[in-house]
Amino acid sequence: GTAIKSGLFEDGKLTVTDTFETQADHGADHVIQKVITHAMQFTSVSSIGISTCGQVDTQQGIIAYANQNMPGYTGMPVVSMIHSALHVPVYIENDVVCAGLGEHSFGNARGCDDFLLVTFGTGIGGTLFLSGRPYNGNGPSRGIMIGGLLNTQVCSDDPWDSSYERSASVTRLVQDAAEIDPSIHNGRMILERIDDPLMNACVTAWINRVGDGICSLVHLYNIPKVIVGGGIMENDLVFDALRIRCHQRLIPGFKGVSIEKASLGNQAGLYGAYTLCSRTI
């Protein structure tokens, strides 16, 4: 993202928070050095947890894959770099998995060991928890490719044009809304005009696509709870309409599933990073 959030936990409570600019366009090494410099002010920490974008090899402590939003991040040995500078144990995990850890330990997934977390923003991220732990799958993607669900009715030379992410991310919603009003360039502007009939219809069509994807995931995994996150899902009208759509479309035998908002907002990653430090993943 555009900002790095930091937090200090003492006795399981978040006591200090800070935010500073990522400057990702300066490259990954610059960003990690900023993190190290920032962390040096806390002289008595016992461990450091990192919630990060990209696919993470947690065993090696490296970034297995990241896009070019932060040049040089793929392959970077983040854990060893920070450990060498600060000399404390360092733990790292994908940001969506960290959000799931945070929700499981502190949020709306407490007491539920089997659940899905799906987040909607620029793209779609997700993670599956089974028996209280993120499902690893085969390799470092760790269940984060929920946005890759395909709609085979969409015909295109680019197979990703048919993906759940292309049809149900907030990016797609903004693109559709901009066809109605070219001045619109974010979800907040859309919600401010939700009473406009054309905009309302645009949002409803998007919610239907979001809900149908969630129903597919519920049918596939048969889990008791789905947590949905992302800034747009904090809007009660959007979330309530999504929950109604899901319960309308679920096969009757699956209608006992609970669909809830993520409760930790933009601090979910901080709570997840703390959880990394406090238990073995």
Q: What is the pLDDT of residues 28-41, one digit of tens each?
A: 999 999 999 999 99
pLDDT in the model for residue 159: 63
When pLDDT is averaged across residues 104-128 and rounded to a whole number, the result is: 93
pLDDT reading at 102 higher than 60: yes
Question: Residue 255 above 90 pLDDT?
Answer: no
Is the per-residue pLDDT at 145 higher than 70? no
Predicted pLDDT at 147: 58
Cα separations (Å) of 19 from 2, 35, 64, 77, 217? 10, 11, 26, 23, 34
**Distance separating alpha carbons of residues 148 and 39, to the nearest angstrom:** 36
* Confidence label for 122 from pLDDT (cuts 50, 70 and 90): confident
pLDDT at 148: 62
The sign one gets for the Cα dihedral 45, 49, 50, 55 is positive
Task: Identify the structural domains of the chain with CATH numbers, from first to last.
Answer: 3-97+267-278 (3.30.420.40), 111-262 (3.30.420.40)
Q: Above pLDDT 90, what percent of the chain?
A: 75
Q: What is the pLDDT of residue 128?
A: 93
Helix axes 28-39, 78-86, angle to 10 degrees: 30
